[in-house]
Amino acid sequence: MKQLIPGLLFAALWASASVATKFGVQSVHPLILANVRFFIAGGGMLLFAYGIQRTKNAWPTRVEFRQLAIFSLLNTTIYLGAFVLALKQVSAGIGSLSTATNPLFIALLSAIWLRRRPQLNELGGLFLGILGVGIATYPLLQTSYATVEGLLILLFGMISVSAATVYYASIQWRLPNLVINGWQVLLGGFQLLPFTVLLGVLEPTTFSNSHYDLRFWGAVLWLILPVSVAALQLWFYLVRQDAIRASLWLFLCPIFGFAYSYLLMNEPITLYTVAGTGLVICGLWLGRK
């Protein structure tokens, strides 16, 4: 019960990131959307922590800055950068479904990190999860709701965020959640910035064709407040309570995600979608058993 309300809120808010991103990339290039989001969200959280809350003894040490830089590279720069790039080429529902495979990769990477042989249920769960995503995306490949390139980018991002979760859980953090979140998002923006600038040099029309309209700012604000601030704060709270149980709330992300994409983006829900999602959930259950 202690995790019920935070867990439900986390799943509902985290799943909404796919639809919000899908709206945002219709106005600007995905990397521009990501950088604007990271700088505003990270700067805002740190301003609140240091300027309004006046949190004491919360300035990172040199070692903590290095830890935050590694965490932000995996959790923000690579994962969220790959996520927004992939959402240009895959449906919002598939974006949410991919998020649910996170616990399977976490289990596998934890086994590698701890130098132990992965258990059969972990490997079986990973296989079912990947098979489920494949079945759910098969008809979307035929109808231009997904591309192979987009799915590979999404897979790369999921491996990165799973590594970030394992890394985060391996460290005894002294800093408050809000400070950790603010720094890792802001540092992630600085780490992504060179790629965004390079994009502008190689493709000048990328910036000139961007439209900073109401749809863009609505997507940015949603990704900042409910997702980057609220959902991540809830996630850090759940992980600190119990990392294994926290990952189980990702079960609900595909259900929320497909509901959002169907209602807001008119994306189809087919028997393939239901069967694929069912396999992912079975894989999660088997991997966590």
Instruction: Give the pLDDT confidence of 140-173 residue by residue, as tens digits.
Output: 666 666 788 888 888 899 889 888 988 888 888 8
- Asked if 185 and 42 touch (Cβ cutoff 8 Å), the reply is yes
> For a pLDDT cut of 70, what percent of the chain falls above it?
93
Residue type at 281 in one-letter notation: I
- Per-residue pLDDT, averaged over 236-250, amounts to 74
- Asked if 93 and 267 touch (Cβ cutoff 8 Å), the reply is yes
Alpha-carbon gap, residue 177 to 54, rounded angstroms: 14
What is the Rg, in whole angstroms, of the alpha carbon atoms belonging to the chain?
A: 18
- Per-residue pLDDT, averaged over 166-191, amounts to 90
3-state secondary structure (DSSP) of residue 3: coil
Instruction: Give the pLDDT confidence of 65-78 residue by residue, as tens digits.
Output: 999 999 999 999 99
Q: Give the pLDDT confidence score for residue 2 in this predicted structure.
A: 67
Question: Does 38 have pLDDT greater than 90?
Answer: yes
Instruction: Give the pLDDT confidence of 18-30 residue by residue, as tens digits.
Output: 899 989 988 998 9
> For a pLDDT cut of 90, what percent of the chain falls above it?
26
Question: Does 46 have pLDDT greater than 90?
Answer: yes
Listed residue (248, 233, 277) closest to 103, CA to CA: 248
Distances (CA, A) of 232 to 140, 149, 179, 270: 30, 28, 12, 31
Instruction: Give the pLDDT confidence of 82-140 residue by residue, as tens digits.
Output: 988 888 888 777 787 777 777 777 777 777 776 767 777 777 877 787 788 778 777 76
Name the pTM for this structure.
0.79
